[in-house]
C-alpha cells in the first residue's frame, strides 16, 4: 500500500488527503448534532486545505523516485525535492583549461582542487570553478568522462560517461535526493550524484561506473602531477562561494540530520565500497591514525591521510602479487605552518609531500598519488581505489549499514 501511495502523482495524493480531512470533519459535526450545516462544510474545507498546506510544506506530497541504495536489494521511494530560490547559471561550456604555470597566477597553493589522473592524463578542477559549474563533460584519451562536484554533500565524483551503451552528458541540477544533486542528462534521465544512479527516464536504475578522484590542494596536486591541466577560474568567483556553508551546522539545503549519530553531520569521511562491502573513514579520526590498513571485499587496502593538506587517498596494498604494509617515513605535520618573511609578512611554508615506506622492501611511496619513487619497487604504482568523500549526514543515508572507522578501535602504525 505504501509503495502504491508513493507512486501516485502528488496532486492526486493531495486531493485524497483533502477529501479525507473534509470527510472526517463532517463525521465529527454529524455526530455532535445529527446534521451538517453550511458552516460545517466551510469549516471542513478549511481544515482539509490546512492539512494539505501543512503536509506540503513538510514535503509529504513531493515527487517520489525509486532508489536502490548501494548493496541493498529492495528499492525505496525517496523525495525528489526542488531547489529553493532562483536557479543560478554558471559560466558557459566548454570550460577553459590552462597549464600548471598559468594556474599559479589564478590559484593559491592551499586552494582546494579535485584531481583526476585517468588514461595517462591528469587534470585539476578547483572548487571555485566546479562549484558553480557542477559538472565537466570531457574526454580522457577518447574515453568520455564526467567530473562532478556537490558542495552541499562535499562529494567529488567522476564517472565513465556511458550508460546502457549510450553516451551521457550531465548538466546542472534543479532537484535533489537526500540533498545530492539529481543531474539531468541529454537522454531525459536524472542521475543522483552521490552514487551515480539514475532515478528517472529510460535509464532509471542504471548506475554509472566510477573512476578515482583526489580531493587535495593545488600545491599537492601540482607536486604529484607537474604536467597537469587545470580548469580555469576565469569568468567565475576567485574563491569557493560555499566556504561559509562548510563551516556552519546546516546539513544540506534541505536540512537532513544524519541517521547515524556516531559522527557530527558535517564531518567529512572517505568512503569505500568494494564488492558489496562498504566502510567510511573519518578524516578527524585519521588525524591521530593517518595510516589505516584494512580488508574490504577480500581486497587488502590502505587509506592514507596527508595531514598538512587534508588529503585522504585509498589504495590496494597488493603489488606484483605481494601484499604490502606501510609506515610513515617523512614528517606528516597536522597543518602547514606559516613563516615570517623579512618584511614581516606571514606566508605558508613550502609544500612537502608526505612519504610512506612499505615494510617488505623498504621502498618509498607518495601518500597522495601512490607512486613509488625510491627503492626496490621504484616506478611501481599502487592501484588507486574509488574513495568517495562526503559529509557524514549524506554518507549515512546512502550507506546506512556501512562500517565506520571513528578512531575508537585499533589503529595502524603511524
Q: Where are the domains of the chain?
A: 2-61, 97-231, 257-405
CB 66 within 8 A of CB 75: yes
Q: Is 97 helix (H, G, I), strand (E, B) or coil?
A: strand
Mean pLDDT of the chain: 87
CB 291 within 8 A of CB 414: yes
Reported confidence tier of residue 45, pLDDT bands at 50, 70, 90: confident
Which helix (H) or strand (E) segment holds residue 54: the answer is helix 38-58
How many whole angstroms separate alpha carbon 76 and alpha carbon 385? 28
Whether 89 shows a pLDDT value over 70: the answer reads no
| Residue at grid coordinates 542521475 | 191
pLDDT at residue 29, rounded to an integer: 73
Which helix (H) or strand (E) segment holds residue 140: the answer is strand 135-140
Write the pLDDT tens digit of every residue in 23-35.
888 777 767 777 7
Whether 209 shows a pLDDT value over 80: the answer reads yes
CB 127 within 8 A of CB 216: no
Whether 17 shows a pLDDT value over 80: the answer reads no
pLDDT at residue 328, rounded to an integer: 96
Q: How far apart are the first and last CA of the chain?
A: 54
CB 174 within 8 A of CB 370: no
The top-level CATH class assigned to 97-231 is: mainly beta
Reported confidence tier of residue 272, pLDDT bands at 50, 70, 90: very high
Mean pLDDT within 186-198: 93
Q: Where are the beta strands (DSSP E) in 229-325?
A: 229-231, 268-274, 277-282, 291-296, 299-306, 311-316, 318-319, 322-323
**CA distances (Å), origin 261, targets 153, 258, 286:** 17, 6, 18
Whether 371 shows a pLDDT value over 70: the answer reads yes
Backbone angles phi, psi at 21, to 5 degrees: -65, -45
Whether 379 shows a pLDDT value over 50: the answer reads yes
pLDDT at residue 336, rounded to an integer: 56
280 Cβ neighbours under 8 A, 6+ residues apart: 269, 270, 271, 272, 392, 395, 399, 402, 403, 404, 405
102 vs 165: which has the higher pLDDT: 102
Query: Which range in 84-88, 259-263, 315-319, 409-413 is most confidently predicted, on average pLDDT?
Result: 315-319
pLDDT at residue 300, rounded to an integer: 97
β-sheet bridge partners, residue 305: 312
Write the pLDDT tens digit of every residue in 98-144.
999 999 999 999 999 999 999 999 999 999 999 888 999 999 998 99
pLDDT at residue 382, rounded to an integer: 97
pLDDT at residue 86, rounded to an integer: 60
Q: By mean pLDDT, which of 27-36, 138-147, 204-213, 230-239 is the weakest?
A: 27-36
How many whole angstroms separate alpha carbon 252 and alpha carbon 143? 33
pLDDT at residue 58, rounded to an integer: 64
pLDDT at residue 410, rounded to an integer: 42
pLDDT at residue 342, rounded to an integer: 53
Give 19: exposed, middle or buried? Use CB within 10 Å, 0-12, 13-18, 19+.
exposed
Mean pLDDT within 327-336: 85
DSSP string over 196-235: TEEEESTTTT-BPPEE--EEEEHHHHHHH-TT-EEE--TT
Query: Which range in 77-91, 222-236, 246-260 is most confidently predicted, on average pLDDT?
Result: 222-236
User: Do you know the residue count of the chain?
Assistant: 414
Amino acid at each position: 500500500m505504501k509503495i502504491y501511495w508513493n507512486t501516485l502523482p502528488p496532486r492526486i495524493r493531495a486531493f485524497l488527503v483533502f477529501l479525507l480531512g473534509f470527510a472526517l470533519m463532517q463525521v465529527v459535526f454529524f455526530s455532535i448534532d445529527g446534521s451538517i450545516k453550511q458552516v460545517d462544510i466551510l469549516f471542513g474545507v478549511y481544515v482539509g486545505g490546512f492539512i494539505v498546506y501543512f503536509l506540503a510544506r513538510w514535503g509529504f506530497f513531493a515527487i517520489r523516485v525509486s532508489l536502490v541504495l548501494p548493496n541493498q536489494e529492495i528499492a525505496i521511494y525517496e523525495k525528489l525535492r526542488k531547489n529553493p530560490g532562483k536557479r543560478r547559471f554558471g559560466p558557459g561550456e566548454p570550460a577553459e583549461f590552462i597549464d600548471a604555470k598559468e594556474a599559479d597566477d589564478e590559484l593559491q597553493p592551499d586552494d582546494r582542487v579535485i584531481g583526476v589522473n585517468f588514461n595517462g592524463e591528469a587534470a585539476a578542477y578547483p572548487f571555485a570553478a566546479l562549484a558553480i559549474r557542477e559538472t565537466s563533460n570531457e574526454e580522457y584519451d577518447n574515453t568520455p568522462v564526467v567530473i562532478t562536484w556537490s558542495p552541499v554533500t562535499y562529494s567529488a565524483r567522476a564517472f565513465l560517461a556511458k550508460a546502457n551503451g549510450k553516451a551521457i552528458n550531465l548538466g546542472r541540477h534543479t532537484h535533489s535526493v537526500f540533498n545530492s544533486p539529481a543531474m539531468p542528462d541529454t537522454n531525459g534521465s536524472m542521475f543522483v550524484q552521490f552514487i551515480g544512479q539514475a532515478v528517472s527516464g529510460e535509464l532509471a536504475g542504471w548506475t554509472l561506473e566510477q573512476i578515482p578522484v583526489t580531493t587535495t590542494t593545488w600545491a599537492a596536486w601540482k607536486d604529484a602531477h607537474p604536467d597537469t591541466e587545470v580548469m580555469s577560474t576565469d569568468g567565475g568567483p576567485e574563491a569557493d562561494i560555499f566556504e561559509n556553508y562548510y563551516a556552519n551546522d546546516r546539513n544540506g539545503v534541505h536540512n537532513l540530520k544524519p541517521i547515524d549519530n556516531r559522527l557530527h553531520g558535517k564531518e567529512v569521511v572517505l568512503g569505500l565500497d568494494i564488492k558489496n562491502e562498504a566502510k567510511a573513514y573519518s578524516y578527524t579520526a585519521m588525524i591521530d591514525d593517518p595510516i589505516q590498513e584494512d580488508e574490504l571485499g577480500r581486497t587488502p587496502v590502505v587509506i592514507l591521510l596527508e595531514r598538512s593538506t587534508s588529503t585522504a587517498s585509498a589504495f590496494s596494498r597488493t603489488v606484483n602479487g605481494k601484499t604490502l604494509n606501510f609506515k610513515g617515513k617523512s614528517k606528516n605535520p597536522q597543518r602547514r605552518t606559516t613563516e615570517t618573511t623579512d618584511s614581516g609578512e606571514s606566508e605558508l611554508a613550502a609544500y612537502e609531500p608526505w612519504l610512506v615506506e612499505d615494510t617488505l622492501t623498504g621502498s618509498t611511496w607518495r601518500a597522495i598519488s601512490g607512486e613509488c619513487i625510491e627503492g626496490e619497487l621504484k616506478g611501481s604504482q599502487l592501484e588507486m581505489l574509488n574513495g568517495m568523500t562526503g559529509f557524514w549526514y549524506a554518507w549515512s543515508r546512502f550507506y546506512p549499514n556501512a562500517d565506520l572507522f571513528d578512531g575508537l578501535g585499533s589503529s595502524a602504525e603511524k
